[in-house]
């Protein structure tokens, strides 16, 4: 088998649909088309201009017409894979595309493996490894924001950023080795200059690592728990956010016994919302179980919506619940603003130690006007989503990228320690190499074959 033999695959999902696309890549792509695709203009297919769609009759080995299809060639290097590519848009359904695939295979074109087209694009330098992964992330995206995130890596934004950082690391390394090799000619860097440079690179890396947390929420959604003492309006809040009467609301404290779970979409962010039983001392066996479940739901919540009744003063129960929320990502919801207020934002800030911007006044009475829902939603999105208007802000959402960045960060921190301890510069070289290797793993510049294999294993056939 040649390293780059010609491959083919059906790129569209199987099943009935308007069209199916077959993709062929490799040096025999156009020549083999001359045996099965006959332009209705009477020309020979391979003589037609690149990137020009042509209507062709498709015939099998025995000269039987099997379809009429639009066929386009995209000659190297201006194609997805960087090789000669042909795409056949035939009629959808399962049979036609399969018959055409049979013909191509009879001409010696091999069926592509999962991800093989994109792998070739990577090998031919059309896309870096992070871009290839973005292709898969975009296909798998479950939310609008997931698409935006992947699309920005697809266009190479992340790849260029990482390349630039890696170059800075390499140029520091080059400077170190030059100083070691020609001590008389090249001046040694001052510690402070060295530290500044390493610090600046590390700050950028750190920012990217932090963006992973946010990226994770965009991809996987946010688990939010609504908690508070009985009757403060937790179920009313769930219903208001959902826009339907999902949970039972009554003026009897202890209405909600079991947890009620729902998914909502907040500005493109998927929120897994759990309404819980009001937390209080209870002797009722069923309610007790409900309260246990409420506490359990807190344990793995990314966000806690702590609901308080602003028409009443802060109670001992509220303070106790607040204590159990320590270390959690908490927003205080001051509900029942339509009544006479007895609780202020300042008081909550002071008594419960919750930041002002995380305290949201709200009113969600049944059958009358709701107040504050938009502000609440806005703040939640703000907390979990990188602001879209920061054009130059790049975020990562791929765990492999995060791990590689953490490795690079570790190497640079080790380097900083070395400088502080007065380790000779030529011994610090290895840390810079490690940092560069970590960064190179993301774009694929210094990546091991096994990692590349793992990345492409997850792909679908035809991509
Ligand atoms: N005026 C007013 N009443 C509200 C508001 N929110 C909820 N209520 C009322 O408060 C009562 C309790 O509301 P729920 O949503 O059941 O409260 P809960 O926190 O789920 O209560 P438990 O399930 O018992 O823990 C109901 O009578 C609601 O109609 C509000 O913003 N303003
Ligand atoms: Mg309730």
pLDDT of 336-349, one tens digit each?
999 999 999 999 99
**Helix (H), strand (E) at residue 236:** helix 234-242
Mean pLDDT, residues 239-264 taken together: 95
Q: Which CATH number fits domain 7-128: 3.30.565.10, 3.40.50.300, 3.30.460.10, 3.30.1360.120?
A: 3.30.1360.120
* pTM attached to this predicted model: 0.66
- Rounded distance, CA 255 to CA 245, Å? 14
Does the pLDDT of residue 357 top 50, yes or no? Answer: yes
| Gyration radius of the chain's alpha carbons | 30
Looking at the domain covering 219-384, what would its CATH class be? alpha beta
3-state secondary structure of 264: strand
Report how far ligand 1's centroid is from the alpha carbon of 290 (Å).
17
For residue range 314-336, list pLDDT tens digits in order: 999 999 999 999 999 999 999 99
pLDDT for 387: 56
Please state which of the ranges 166-175, 209-218, 413-422, 442-451 shows the lowest mean pLDDT: 209-218
Report how far ligand 1's centroid is from the alpha carbon of 227 (Å).
13
Residue nearest to atom 27 of ligand 1 (CA): 251
Per-position DSSP letters for 387-417, written without gaps between them: -TT-TT------HHHHHHHHHHHHHHHHHHH
For residue range 366-377, list pLDDT tens digits in order: 989 999 999 999
Which is the closest atom of ligand 1 to the Cα of 335? 31
Which is the closest atom of ligand 1 to the Cα of 251? 27
Nearest listed ligand to the Cα of residue 369: 1
Answer whether the bond into residue 207 is a cis peptide, omega within 30°: no
- Residues within 6 Å of ligand 1 by CB: 228, 230-236, 249-251, 253-256, 277-278, 335-336, 338-339, 363-366
For residue range 38-68, list pLDDT tens digits in order: 999 999 999 999 999 999 999 999 999 999 9
Mean pLDDT, residues 276-300 taken together: 93
Residue nearest to atom 7 of ligand 1 (CA): 233
Does the pLDDT of residue 386 top 70, yes or no? Answer: no
Which is the closest atom of ligand 1 to the Cα of 248? 16
Report how far ligand 1's centroid is from the alpha carbon of 246 (Å).
14
Report how far ligand 2's centroid is from the alpha carbon of 261 (Å).
12
For residue range 165-179, list pLDDT tens digits in order: 999 999 999 888 888
pLDDT for 398: 84
Report how far ligand 1's centroid is from the alpha carbon of 363 (Å).
10
Q: How far is residue 175 CA from its own chain's centroid? A: 36
Does the pLDDT of residue 391 top 60, yes or no? Answer: no
* Residue among 228, 234, 236, 366 whose CB has most ligand 1 atoms within 8 A, to mutate: 236
Q: Does domain 132-215+395-446 have CATH number 3.40.50.300?
A: no
| Tokens encoding 109 | 């074109």
pLDDT for 167: 95
The full set of domain ranges for the chain reads 7-128, 132-215+395-446, 219-384
- Rounded distance, CA 58 to CA 271, Å? 49
Does the pLDDT of residue 388 top 60, yes or no? Answer: no
Per-position DSSP letters for 25-78, written without gaps between them: ESTTHHHHHHHHEEETTS--GGGSPTT--EEEEEE-TTS-EEEEEEEEEE-TTS
Residue nearest to atom 24 of ligand 1 (CA): 254
3-state secondary structure of 268: coil
Residue 389: band (very low, low, confident or very high) from pLDDT cuts 50, 70, 90: very low
Does the pLDDT of residue 1 top 50, yes or no? Answer: no
Backbone angles phi, psi at 457, to 5 degrees: -60, -30
Residue 113: band (very low, low, confident or very high) from pLDDT cuts 50, 70, 90: very high
């Amino acid at each position: 088998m040649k390293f780059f033999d010609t491959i083919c695959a059906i790129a569209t999902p199987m099943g009935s649909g308007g069209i199916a696309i077959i993709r062929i890549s490799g040096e025999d792509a156009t020549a083999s088309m001359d045996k099965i695709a006959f332009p209705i203009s009477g020309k020979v297919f391979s003589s037609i201009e690149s990137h020009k769609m042509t209507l062709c009759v498709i015939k099998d080995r025995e000269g039987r017409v099997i379809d009429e299809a639009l066929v386009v060639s995209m000659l190297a290097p201006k194609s997805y894979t960087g090789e000669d590519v042909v795409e056949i848009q035939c009629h959808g359904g399962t049979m036609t595309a399969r018959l055409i695939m049979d013909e191509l295979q009879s001409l010696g074109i091999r069926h592509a493996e999962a991800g093989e087209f994109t792998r070739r694009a990577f090998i031919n330098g059309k896309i870096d490894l992070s871009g290839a992964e973005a292709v898969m992330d975009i296909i798998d995206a479950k939310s609008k924001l997931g698409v935006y995130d992947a699309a920005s890596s697809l266009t190479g934004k992340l790849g260029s950023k990482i390349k630039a950082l890696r170059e800075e690391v390499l140029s520091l390394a080059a400077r170190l080795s030059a100083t070691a090799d020609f001590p008389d000619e090249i001046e040694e860097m001052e510690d402070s200059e060295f530290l500044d440079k390493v610090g600046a690179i590390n700050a950028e890396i750190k920012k990217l690592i932090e963006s992973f947390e946010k990226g994770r929420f965009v991809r996987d959604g946010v688990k939010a728990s609504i908690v508070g003492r009985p009757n403060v309006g937790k179920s009313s809040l769930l219903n208001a956010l959902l826009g339907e009467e999902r949970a039972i609301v009554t003026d009897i404290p202890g209405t909600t016994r079991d947890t009620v779970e729902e998914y909502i979409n907040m500005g493109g962010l998927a929120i897994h919302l759990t309404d819980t039983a009001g937390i209080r001392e209870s002797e009722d066996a069923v309610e007790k179980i409900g309260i246990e479940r409420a506490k359990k739901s807190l344990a793995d919540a990314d966000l806690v919506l702590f609901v308080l009744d602003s028409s009443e003063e802060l109670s001992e129960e509220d303070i106790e619940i607040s204590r159990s929320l320590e270390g959690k990502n908490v927003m205080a919801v001051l509900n029942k603003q339509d009544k006479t207020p007895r609780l202020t934002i300042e008081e909550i800030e002071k008594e419960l130690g919750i930041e002002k911007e995380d305290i949201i006044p709200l009113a969600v009475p049944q059958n009358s006007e709701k107040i504050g829902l938009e502000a609440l939603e806005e703040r939640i999105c703000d907390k979990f989503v990188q602001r879209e208007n920061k054009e130059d802000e790049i975020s990562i959402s791929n765990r492999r990228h995060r791990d590689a960045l953490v490795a690079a960060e570790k190497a640079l921190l080790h380097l900083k320690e070395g400088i502080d301890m007065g380790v000779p510069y030529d011994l610090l070289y290895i840390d810079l190499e490690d940092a560069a290797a970590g960064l190179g793993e993301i774009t694929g510049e210094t990546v091991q074959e096994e990692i590349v294999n793992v990345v492409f294993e997850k792909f679908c056939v035809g991509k």
